[in-house]
Structure 1
Amino acid sequence: MTEAVEPTRRPPGTPCWASLMVHGLGTTEAFYGDLFGWEYVPGPEPFGPYVRALLGGREVAGIGEMPPDRHLPVAWTTYFATDDADATAETIRSCGGTVAVGPLDAGRAGRVAICSDPVGAIFGLWQAGDHIGTQLSGVPGTPVWNELVTQDTSTVGKFYEHVFGHEARSHDAVGADFDYLTLVLDDRPVAAVHGVGRSLPHDRGPHWMTYFEVADVDDAAVQVQLLGGRIVQPPREGLTGRLVTVTDPEGAVLTLLQSRPGDLRRDG
């Protein structure tokens, strides 16, 4: 197991938080509590009931409950750090993206916006106040990687470069038919764009995938099914370790990753 990392305020353009909006908050809390060992504390509540998931007393993710009359897709949302949510929102609009919610204040915690890129993948902006984002990473039960799954990388790589200052690096050495860009800040990989062509799920379209560290992928896959989730893609070897793509009981998709030692992505 890698040593736990306790991040401070993240540089702009770095994924800093993962949040899930669901219909049944209590049952979702139970699922992730059993799977990851999370405990919960309430708030802040800018959009309704919301809890922060804790590991060892440190915040690692958030779960909120949608109003009963809202029938939005249940999905994990990746949030990117920014020093100025309003300025970043304007850049998103000028680069062909959409700002659906905000920017607006979430009390003293910070300032938030929900956006989508030119191909429709939803992501968030977080301008930290008292809440800097995920406080622990690199250990089981924490988010360790974020990857945009889309039809092809050519349509959106430039968008993220312009909005967040990422450098998009291709992986030609892996093979010409592997469409994958790593998004780099200050020579450090922070996220990726994975073009999957016709394999893109029609029911989800382009989307950001959150990866959570686990101690043993195969054991975690069995536990997901016992807890009411399902397997989307069975356990397999990936670029940085063994992984499995699953859903929780409400259908939110996530990937569980058993990282290889020394993987740079493990420190969030």
Structure 2
Amino acid sequence: MSQKFVFHDVRTADLSASRRFYAELFGWAITETPAGPMLGGADGVWGGFTPLAEGDPRRPQWIPYVPVADVDSSARHAVELGARIVKPRTDLPPGSVVVVEEPGGATLALWQPADRK
């Protein structure tokens, strides 16, 4: 597994307020995409926003994405090490993700980029 984060997702209960906050505080560009608003501009996106639905019990938070070679085996290994699966594997056009909560309570996403053969 890699030690670097390749993407960051901010889970928010108020999308408009979060967008405004990050744009005004840091001057971060926000790009509209088919998948929703993303952080970043013409040089590429590096983060995104996930709105929490009303009544969603999960807390607003940042979730870093860590690249892995095999998301399924990495998720199994994480569970063996005491993690809990928060969101099972989701396959998206750019890759597959499993969200886990590590034994200390922090959440991160295991990210396997799609094969670009």
Q: Which interval holds the TM-score relative to the shorter structure?
A: 0.7 to 0.9
Provide the residue aligned with 1:169 in structure 2.
Answer: 31
Taking only the aligned residue pairs, the percentage that are identical comes to 30
Deviation at 1:259, TM superposition (A): 1.2
Instruction: Indicate conservation of the 8 Å contact 2:67/2:112, yes or no.
Output: yes
The whole-number CA distance in structure 2 between the counterparts of 1:190 and 1:237 is 19
Instruction: Indicate conservation of the 8 Å contact 2:95/2:113, yes or no.
Output: yes
The whole-number CA distance in structure 2 between the counterparts of 1:199 and 1:234 is 20
TM-score of the aligned structures, taking structure 1 as reference length? 0.40
Provide the residue aligned with 2:73 in structure 1.
Answer: 219
The whole-number CA distance in structure 1 between the counterparts of 2:31 and 2:55 is 22
Provide the residue aligned with 1:159 in structure 2.
Answer: 21
Unpaired stretches in structure 1, ≥5 consecutive residues = 1-35, 37-139, 175-179, 263-268
Instruction: Indicate conservation of the 8 Å contact 1:150/1:200, yes or no.
Output: no
Instruction: Indicate conservation of the 8 Å contact 1:165/1:185, yes or no.
Output: no
State whether structure 2 residue 37 is matched by structure 1 residue 181. Answer: yes
Deviation at 1:166, TM superposition (A): 1.8
Within a 5 Å distance, the mapping from 1:94-173 to structure 2 comes to 140-171=2-33, 173=34
Give the structure with the larger strand fraction.
2
| Counterpart code for 1:193 | F
Q: Deviations over 1:199-245 (max 9, x none)?
A: 6434xx21111110000000011101111111111111135210100
Highest RCO, 1 vs 2 (Cα 8 Å, sep ≥ 6): 2
Equivalent residues, number = 116
Alpha-carbon spacing, 1:236–1:190, altered in 2? closer, same or farther (3 Å): closer
Unpaired stretches in structure 2, ≥5 consecutive residues = none
The whole-number CA distance in structure 1 between the counterparts of 2:113 and 2:104 is 26
The whole-number CA distance in structure 1 between the counterparts of 2:55 and 2:32 is 20
| Counterpart code for 1:158 | R
Provide the residue aligned with 1:119 in structure 2.
Answer: none
Deviation at 1:192, TM superposition (A): 1.5
Deviation at 1:187, TM superposition (A): 3.6
Alpha-carbon spacing, 1:240–1:201, altered in 2? closer, same or farther (3 Å): farther
Deviation at 1:141, TM superposition (A): 3.7
Provide the residue aligned with 1:192 in structure 2.
Answer: 48
Alpha-carbon spacing, 1:152–1:144, altered in 2? closer, same or farther (3 Å): same
The whole-number CA distance in structure 1 between the counterparts of 2:68 and 2:55 is 26
The higher radius of gyration belongs to 1
TM-score of the aligned structures, taking structure 2 as reference length? 0.84
Alpha-carbon spacing, 1:222–1:199, altered in 2? closer, same or farther (3 Å): farther
Ranges of 4+ aligned residues in structure 1 off by more than 2 Å: 185-188, 198-202
